[in-house]
Structure 1
């Protein structure tokens, strides 16, 4: 009999499923992937779409990885990922600022004095493309004098040994608006070269030369794909948050412009990006109208399908597909959806169908479902099903992990101490209440918790409630208790005149009373 430890449930972060890049990992990931509902993945293969938008944990990374795997199965195709959060660390983000001729404010500055990151992003992307063109695995452009000139311009910067490592080599080292370059016969540019064959040139002028050279390239046989993921904001200080907002905004704009050039010229090159919804909301107010390219060339991942019975919700296919894959690997027969739920889950949990229980303890995100099942698998590996006893036993651990995960989204706006203040507000409280009840609650809690007191000195209660509704900590519930509204189920705006409701999955961690 198949035991829980024999089921490959994956990881809560899709990139960790492909750490080794082995054929076995690729095959397993591809076989277990469930395409989000109402999303036509072919639009990403044929370059009609290249932005993926969604809340944290909805499967943006998984979708990009799936697209890259399918594309790389084509001959002469090469793909690469740039992970903004983990690869572009704080020091590199400061380098971006310097490269964009931005005066980096002191840590205690209240305003970020910045301008345009687009030239730096284009240079970054051009250098990434040159990495491809110098590879024998794929050639999207013909190997001729035009390509040699483009490579010479983009590779002309003098880079020290210290800078010539990892992703840092892709960011230009600019001083007073100039960049130091080395003379090359293929460069085709006349400057005042010194005796060492070096010259200092205006960076923006060099980027314009690279733009012109890029448009002269001729189409080759291969395809290049660059995926930008983990576009998150840093809120350690206000100036970091503002800087990161400009960085993400200008990356979105740069991707659209370079993809537009590639389409116009017929190049088989495409840049992709996964963007968290809350990040998009933050950068949308900074100008440049990023909402238009996102609307035209992006898709939102929404797993909840209104009108469908709980047992038919697409997100549940993530569970059944992974269990059936494990059965197939062990030579055990395939089960239908109904048979699988009957065999691996109890008939009811607290009076509800198991499918309803799973959905109501999630935010309709694959990451939640995977986390729930992995919590059981880790503690009860030799069990043969997700029975009632084990689901009850891991409720607290799952609730705590869910709180950590869901409040990560608040870091785009709130300090760590503020998030603690929010937790203290609800800890030991009840599940259903009004905004007025919360106002009274604040007066009591802030006497014991300075974090809550500080939070509401800087933030209005209704703004906090709005943010908690947006990320799914809170929902609305009617007087009868038979109608619940959540943002992740398509109810965009909170109704302040209705009762508020703390998400079921958070009750155990917050010690919520019934």
Structure 2
């Protein structure tokens, strides 16, 4: 019999499943991938779609990685990832700010004056293209005079950047609106060159020249795809939050503009971007109608399928696929869905079928399901089933990890101390609460916890409750307790006249026993 340690369940973060991108890693990732329901993945292969939208943990990264692998199956194809959260660090974001000549407002100010980041992003993208195609055997652009002019133009800014590494070398060094470039005979540009062959050029003018040069490229036989992932916001300060919101907003705009040129000219090149839903909500308020390109060229990842019985929900296929893959790898035959659940899970967990228990302790996200099963696997590696004892033993740890995960989404709007203040309101209280009870509770808790007091001083409780509903901390439940509403099940807004229901998976962490 297969032991739990022999089942490759994957990682809670899809990028960790392809750290080395070895043939074995890629094969295993492809064989276990489940396409999100109602998403036409072919539209991403043919570049009709290039934005992926969804809440944290819904599989956006996995989807981008899968798309990149399938597109890379062409021998002439090449892809590259830009991870905004982990690779574009605070220092680089400050460099973006300097390059765009943004005048940042002081912390906690509601006003933000300054230019936008579009030209800096386009320069970044053009330089990323030039660095990516440098070693490609088959190029997405014909290597003619137009090609060499484009490459020379975007690489002309090399003074003082030889020591820069990684993405730092892709960000322009601007002084008083000008950028210093080196003379090249292939540029064919007339500037006031000094005796060392250098010139100071207006940055916006240079980017416009790069726009023209990119437009004049001729399509080649190769293919290049660049993926932007981890477009996340963190509320460390008002200044950083506003800056990063505009960075992401203008990247979304820049992706559409560059892709429009690429499609119009028949280039085998495309930019893709995965965007968190709450980030989209934040940046939509900043102007520039990004909702239109997102609607036209994007899809939202949703796993809940209304009208289907719990055992038919697509997210359960992830579990079934990974267990069956492990059986095949160990010389065992694949099992039917019914047989697999019977052989590997208890018949009942707290009076519910295992499929229903898992769904009700998740947010219908792959990350939740994987985390729950990995928690059991780590504690009981030599067991042959996900036994009731193991599932019970990891309840508290899984609940705590779920709280940390789900409240990450609040960091786009709330300070860490505010999130603590929210926790104190629910801690040790009830799972089912009316709005008036919650208001009374918040006032009571404010007397003991300054974090809650400061939260309530700065925020209207109804607004906080709306945000908690949006990310899935709470839902609605009717008086008969036979109807539950959650945002991840497709319910857009909380109903204040219905009772509030704290998610099952958070009960253990919040010490809710009634």
Shorter chain as normaliser: what TM range?
Answer: over 0.9
Could you tell me which residue of structure 1 aligns to residue 2 of structure 2? 2
The 2-side partners of 1:109 and 1:162 are apart by 38
Could you tell me which residue of structure 1 aligns to residue 170 of structure 2? 170
The 1-side partners of 2:332 and 2:489 are apart by 36
Could you tell me which residue of structure 1 aligns to residue 55 of structure 2? 55
Contact 2:159 2:182 in 1 (8 A): no
C-alpha deviations, 1:455-492, integer Å up to 9, x for none? 00000000000000000000000000010000000001
Could you tell me which residue of structure 2 aligns to residue 446 of structure 1? 446
Using the size of structure 1 for normalisation, the TM-score is: 0.99
Give 3-state SS (helix, strand or coil) of 1:286's partner: coil
The alignment yields a C-alpha RMSD, in angstroms, of 1.0
The 2-side partners of 1:209 and 1:403 are apart by 49
User: How far did 1:448 drift?
Assistant: 1.1
Contact 2:53 2:298 in 1 (8 A): yes
* 1:349 aligns to 2:333 (yes or no): no
Could you tell me which residue of structure 2 aligns to residue 426 of structure 1? 426
Could you tell me which residue of structure 2 aligns to residue 81 of structure 1? 81
Contact 2:102 2:113 in 1 (8 A): yes
Any stretches of 5+ residues in structure 2 without a counterpart?
none
* 1:457 aligns to 2:457 (yes or no): yes
Give 3-state SS (helix, strand or coil) of 1:130's partner: helix
Contact 2:161 2:169 in 1 (8 A): no
C-alpha deviations, 1:338-373, integer Å up to 9, x for none? 110000000011111100000000000000000000
C-alpha deviations, 1:367-400, integer Å up to 9, x for none? 0000000000111101101111100000000000
Tell which deviates more after alignment, 150-159 or 462-471. Answer: 150-159
Tell which deviates more after alignment, 128-137 or 195-204. Answer: 128-137
Give 3-state SS (helix, strand or coil) of 1:271's partner: strand
* 1:247 aligns to 2:247 (yes or no): yes
User: How far did 1:160 drift?
Assistant: 2.3
Write the mapping of 1:63-462 to structure 2, written as runs, cut at 5 A: 63-107=63-107, 110-161=110-161, 163-462=163-462
The 2-side partners of 1:338 and 1:316 are apart by 12
User: How far did 1:107 drift?
Assistant: 4.8
Contact 2:344 2:385 in 1 (8 A): yes
Give 3-state SS (helix, strand or coil) of 1:493's partner: coil
Give 3-state SS (helix, strand or coil) of 1:229's partner: strand
The 2-side partners of 1:34 and 1:194 are apart by 59
Using the size of structure 2 for normalisation, the TM-score is: 0.99
Could you tell me which residue of structure 2 aligns to residue 12 of structure 1? 12
Contact 1:51 1:298 in 2 (8 A): yes
The 2-side partners of 1:163 and 1:228 are apart by 25
Contact 1:37 1:314 in 2 (8 A): yes
The 2-side partners of 1:133 and 1:362 are apart by 42
C-alpha deviations, 1:14-63, integer Å up to 9, x for none? 00111111111111101100000010101000000000000000000000
Contact 2:36 2:302 in 1 (8 A): yes
C-alpha deviations, 1:202-224, integer Å up to 9, x for none? 00000000010111111100111
The 2-side partners of 1:159 and 1:222 are apart by 31
Give 3-state SS (helix, strand or coil) of 1:28's partner: helix
User: How far did 1:74 drift?
Assistant: 0.9
Contact 1:426 1:510 in 2 (8 A): yes
Contact 2:18 2:26 in 1 (8 A): yes
The 2-side partners of 1:316 and 1:144 are apart by 52
User: How far did 1:195 drift?
Assistant: 1.2
The 1-side partners of 2:417 and 2:456 are apart by 12
The 1-side partners of 2:83 and 2:453 are apart by 37
The 2-side partners of 1:84 and 1:360 are apart by 32
Give 3-state SS (helix, strand or coil) of 1:482's partner: coil
C-alpha deviations, 1:136-171, integer Å up to 9, x for none? 344000111110000011000034256520111110
User: How far did 1:444 drift?
Assistant: 1.5
Give 3-state SS (helix, strand or coil) of 2:285's partner: helix
Any stretches of 5+ residues in structure 1 without a counterpart?
none
User: How far did 1:110 drift?
Assistant: 4.9
The 1-side partners of 2:159 and 2:216 are apart by 26
How many residues align? The count is 514
C-alpha deviations, 1:297-348, integer Å up to 9, x for none? 0000000000000000000001000001100100111001111000000001
Give 3-state SS (helix, strand or coil) of 2:181's partner: strand
The 2-side partners of 1:461 and 1:163 are apart by 51
User: How far did 1:109 drift?
Assistant: 5.1
